[in-house]
Amino acid sequence: MQWLRKSIDANRNFPWNFFLLASCLVRLGRLGEARAEVKTGLALDPNFTLKRYGALVESDNPVYLAHRERVAEGMRVAGVPEG
């Protein structure tokens, strides 16, 4: 999570990091903060959806796919639209 915050500080115009941070915050039980990060990310990229995230699969490795599903579930709980 620390590196996501540093990445956001380095470039506040890259929305993906806000969505990834939101997923991490959900895992920590910090839902209010997670929803705020999603709101910021959607302000930068209003077309971001879980469907769009899911379309960018770069491997068929089961470990990679399981990780992506955990990230997507966190984003879903935080309020990222399904699409």
Q: DSSP assignment of 6-21, as one string?
A: HHHHH-TT-HHHHHHH
Flag whether 59 is in a domain.
yes
- The pLDDT tens digits for 5-26 are 999 999 999 999 999 999 999 9
Per-residue confidence (pLDDT) for residue 1, from 0 to 100: 78
- The pLDDT tens digits for 32-59 are 999 999 999 999 999 999 999 999 998 9
Domain harbouring 72, CATH code: 1.25.40
Q: Which two tokens stand for residue 4?
A: 């996501």
- The whole-angstrom separation of Cα 42 and Cα 38 is 6
24 by DSSP, 3-state: which? helix
Flag whether 17 is in a domain.
yes
Q: Which domain holds residue 12?
A: 2-78
With 0-12 / 13-18 / 19 or more C-beta atoms within 10 angstroms meaning exposed / middle / buried, residue 37 is buried
Per-residue confidence (pLDDT) for residue 62, from 0 to 100: 96
Query: Which pTM was predicted?
Result: 0.92
Flag whether 34 is in a domain.
yes
Flag whether 32 is in a domain.
yes
